[in-house]
Amino acid sequence: MKTFTLPGTDLVVPNVVLGLMRIQDKTDDEVRALVHSARDAGITFLDHADIYGDDLHGCERRFAEATRLSPAERAEWVIQSKAGIVPDGPYFDFSYDHLVGSVHGSLDALGTDYLDILLLHRPDPLVEPEEVARAFSDLHAAGKVRAFGVSNHTPGQIELLRRYVEQPIVANQMQLSIPHAPLVAQGVASNMAALDQSVSRDLGTLDYCRLHDITVQAWSPLQGGAGHGVFLGSPEHPELNTVIDRLAAQYDVPPIAIATAWITRHPAQMQVVLGTTSPDRVAGAAQGSDVPLTRAEWSELFRAAGHHVP
Ligand SMILES: NC(=O)c1ccc[n+]([C@@H]2O[C@H](COP(=O)([O-])OP(=O)(O)OC[C@H]3O[C@@H](n4cnc5c(N)ncnc54)[C@H](OP(=O)(O)O)[C@@H]3O)[C@@H](O)[C@H]2O)c1
Digit-coded pLDDT (tens) for 176-212: 999 999 999 999 999 888 899 999 989 999 999 999 9
In angstroms, the CA 149 to CA 118 distance is 6
CB burial of residue 271 (10 Å; 0-12, 13-18, 19+): buried
CB burial of residue 5 (10 Å; 0-12, 13-18, 19+): exposed
What average pLDDT does the segment 204-230 reach? Answer: 94
34 C-alpha vs ligand 1 centroid, how far in Å? 13
Question: Which pLDDT band holds residue 256 (cuts at 50, 70, 90)?
Answer: very high
pLDDT of residue 191: 87
276 C-alpha vs ligand 1 centroid, how far in Å? 5
pLDDT of residue 20: 98
The answer to whether the pTM exceeds 0.95 is yes
161 C-alpha vs ligand 1 centroid, how far in Å? 29
Question: Which pLDDT band holds residue 227 (cuts at 50, 70, 90)?
Answer: confident
pLDDT of residue 228: 79
pLDDT of residue 193: 85
pLDDT of residue 226: 72
What average pLDDT does the segment 57-80 reach? Answer: 98
In angstroms, the CA 51 to CA 20 distance is 11
Protein residue with least CA distance to atom 33, ligand 1:
230
In angstroms, the CA 100 to CA 105 distance is 9
What average pLDDT does the segment 143-161 reach? Answer: 98
Question: Which pLDDT band holds residue 225 (cuts at 50, 70, 90)?
Answer: confident
Assess whether pLDDT exceeds 80 at residue 239: yes
Main-chain dihedrals φ then ψ at residue 119, nearest 5 degrees: -110, 145
- Close Cβ partners of 133 (under 8 Å, ≥ 6 residues apart): 161, 164, 165, 166
What average pLDDT does the segment 22-42 reach? Answer: 98
115-120/145-151 β-pairing:
parallel
Q: Is 231 in the pocket of ligand 1 (CB under 6 A)?
A: no
Protein residue with least CA distance to atom 25, ligand 1:
276
pLDDT of residue 83: 98
281-298: pLDDT as tens digits: 999 999 999 999 999 999
In angstroms, the CA 304 to CA 22 distance is 29
Protein residue with least CA distance to atom 19, ligand 1:
275
Residue of 273, 277, 282 best suited for mutating to test ligand 1, as the one with most atoms within 8 Å of CB: 273
What average pLDDT does the segment 50-74 reach? Answer: 98
In angstroms, the CA 7 to CA 215 distance is 7
Tell me how many degrees the CA angle 190-214-292 measures, rounded to the nearest 5: 70
What average pLDDT does the segment 220-236 reach? Answer: 91
Percent of the chain whose pLDDT exceeds 90: 97
Question: Which pLDDT band holds residue 106 (cuts at 50, 70, 90)?
Answer: very high
